Amino acid sequence: MCGPTEIDGYAFCLGVDSFNGFNKACEELQSLVCLVTYLIRGAIFRPDFFISRLGRSSLDICLLGELIDMYHAHEATECHDKVYVLLGMSSDDLSKVDLLPNYRVPWEELLQRLAKYLLSKKISVETWGGDREIAVIKSKGCIFSKVFLVQSDTVQNDREGVDVVFKNREGVLVGLFRP
């Protein structure tokens, strides 16, 4: 091939995946590449963009919580951008949520709003000043399972696998969940 051409995203990702020398030589970049190829690989199944009933446009990739999980370790000049950049990719209906980009909102308040949106409005969230990305979340609940094993898998989009053990009311093991 000579000159400019367009290649299907899925085919591009297959080429990146087959470049084993890169994966072994630079593990730090591998996790970043996996996250990007995850988005590219799924693009063929998504429309170019989605417009909600209220006129909000989005790439409609996946839920905001999933995007936060995938990209929480990435850096940003402004902490706000770690949330705001993902809003345009989110498939959530954010019309009733106070997360729309507003850099006048202090980071601590945005982090509290995000935690309450993702978990529950009934939780208590405590944050600290500055650009710290730490929150203490308090709530009432019931323990119905125990995390048994956590395994990192950098090959599978830098995700972690979790084995969860479930017990019944009498404390007897009733099952193992492996997502």
* pLDDT 10s digits, 149-173: 777 665 555 556 777 777 776 666 6
Q: Are residues 39 and 114 in the same domain?
A: no
Q: Are residues 51 and 134 in the same domain?
A: yes
Structure tokens at 9: 């995203």
The average pLDDT across 15-25 equals 66
Q: For 90, which DSSP code?
A: B
Mean pLDDT taken over the chain: 75
Give pLDDT tens digits for 129-146. Answer: 777 788 898 988 777 777
Q: Greatest CA span in the chain, whole angstroms?
A: 69
Give pLDDT tens digits for 55-90. Answer: 555 666 778 888 888 877 778 888 899 899 888 888
**For 14-18, 26-30, 71-75, which range has the lowest pLDDT when averaged over its residues?**
26-30
Q: Are residues 98 and 164 in the same domain?
A: no
Range of the domain at 170: 145-177
Nearest-10 Cα torsion for 22, 23, 29, 31: 150
Q: Give the separation between CA 119 and CA 122, rounded to whole angstroms.
A: 9
Q: Are residues 75 and 35 in the same domain?
A: no
Q: Are residues 97 and 51 in the same domain?
A: yes
Nearest-10 Cα torsion for 62, 66, 71, 77: 80
- The pTM for the full model equals 0.62
Structure tokens at 15: 């080429």
